[in-house]
Amino acid sequence: MSLTKVPQRRWASALLSGKYRPALSTHAPIAESPTDGSRRKGNISASRQPHLMRCASTSYRPHPKPVNTRPFSVSVASRSRNNTATPDLTMENKLQSVTFRERLAAAYPWTTAPLIVGAPMRVMSGPDLAVAVSRAGGFGFIGPGLKPESTAADLETTKGLLASSGIPQHGAVLPVGVGFQIWNGNLDVSASAVSQYRPAAAWLFAPRNGQTDVDVWTKRLREASPETKIWLQIGTLQEALDAARSASPPDVLVVQGAEAGGHGRTSDGIGFITLLPEIADATCESGIPLIAAGGVADGRGVVAALGVGAAGVAMGTRFLASQEARIKKGYQDEVVRATDGGASTLRTHLYNHLRGTFGWPEQFSPRTIINRSWVEKQAGTAFEDIKKLHDDAVSKGDGAWGPDGWTATYAGANVGLIRGVAGAGEIVEGTRNEAVKIIQTLSGL
Ligand SMILES: Cc1cc2nc3c(=O)[nH]c(=O)nc-3n(C[C@H](O)[C@H](O)[C@H](O)COP(=O)(O)O)c2cc1C
Q: Quick one: CA torsion of 313, 315, 319, 320, rounded to 10 degrees?
A: 180
Neighbouring residues of 83: CB distance < 8 A, sequence distance ≥ 6 = none
Q: What is the DSSP string of 110-169?
A: T-BSSEEEE---TTTS-HHHHHHHHHTTSEEEEPP-SSTTHHHHHHHHHHHHHHTT-PPP
Domain check: are 398 and 286 in the same one?
no
* Residue 33 alpha carbon to ligand 1 centre in Å: 34
Q: Give the dihedral of Cα atoms 180, 183, 189, 191; nearest 10 deg.
A: 60
Residue with CA at minimum distance from ligand 1 atom 29: 262
Rounded Cα–Cα distance for residues 81 and 74 (Å): 12
368 and 266: one domain? Answer: no
305, 399: one domain? no
Q: Are residues 273 and 359 in the same domain?
A: no
161 and 220, same domain (yes or no): yes
Query: Per the domain annotation, does 42 fall within a domain?
Result: no
Position 297 confidence tier, pLDDT thresholds 50, 70, 90 = very high
pLDDT exceeds cutoff 70 at 4? no
Do 111 and 242 belong to one domain?
A: yes
Q: 45 pLDDT exceeds 90?
A: no
In a shared domain, residues 169 and 284: yes
Q: Do residues 393 and 289 both lie within one domain?
A: no
With a 6 Å cutoff on the Cβ, whether 405 touches ligand 1 is no
272-281 pLDDT, tens digit each:
999 999 999 9
Q: Do 171 and 242 belong together in one domain? A: yes
pLDDT at 79 over 50: no
Mean pLDDT of the chain: 83
In the predicted structure, residue 176 carries a pLDDT above the cut 50? yes
Q: Based on the fold, state whether residues 248 and 374 are members of the same structural domain.
A: no
Percent of the chain with pLDDT over 70: 77
126 within ligand 1 shell (Cβ under 6 A): no
Give the distance (Å) from ligand 1 centre to CA of residue 143. Answer: 9
Q: Are residues 73 and 130 in the same domain?
A: yes
The residue nearest atom 15 of ligand 1, judged by CA position, is 262
Q: Are residues 246 and 301 in the same domain?
A: yes
Q: What is the CATH number of the domain that holds 230?
A: 3.20.20.70
- The domain tally of the chain equals 2
Would the CB of 174 count as within 6 Å of ligand 1? no
User: What separation in angstroms does the CA of 436 have from each of 290, 302, 321, 424?
Assistant: 19, 9, 23, 18
Q: Whose CA is nearest to atom 21 of ligand 1?
A: 316
Is 185 part of any domain? yes
Residue 263 in this model has a pLDDT that exceeds 90: yes
Ligand 1 within 6 A of CB of 124:
yes
Whose alpha carbon is nearest atom 5 of ligand 1? 121
Residue 122 located in a structural domain = yes
Residue 61 lies in a domain: no
Cβ–ligand 1 distance for 411 under 6 Å, the answer yes
The pLDDT of residue 172: 81
Query: Domain containing 394: what range?
Result: 339-410
Note whether residue 55 is domain-resident. Answer: no
Q: Is the pLDDT of residue 22 over 60?
A: no
Question: Lowest-pLDDT range, 222-236, 353-367, 389-403, 415-429?
Answer: 389-403
Of 10-19, 113-122, 235-244, 355-364, minimum mean pLDDT range: 10-19
Residue 148 lies in a domain: yes
Q: Which atom of ligand 1 lies nearest, measured to the CA of 319? A: 27
Residue 37 reports pLDDT greater than 60: no
Average pLDDT on 153-163 reads 96
At a CB cut-off of 8 Å and minimum separation 6, what does 40 contact?
74, 75
107: confidence class by pLDDT, cuts 50, 70, 90: confident
Say if 276 falls within a structural domain: yes
139 found inside a domain: yes
Asked if residue 257 has its Cβ within 6 Å of ligand 1, the reply is no
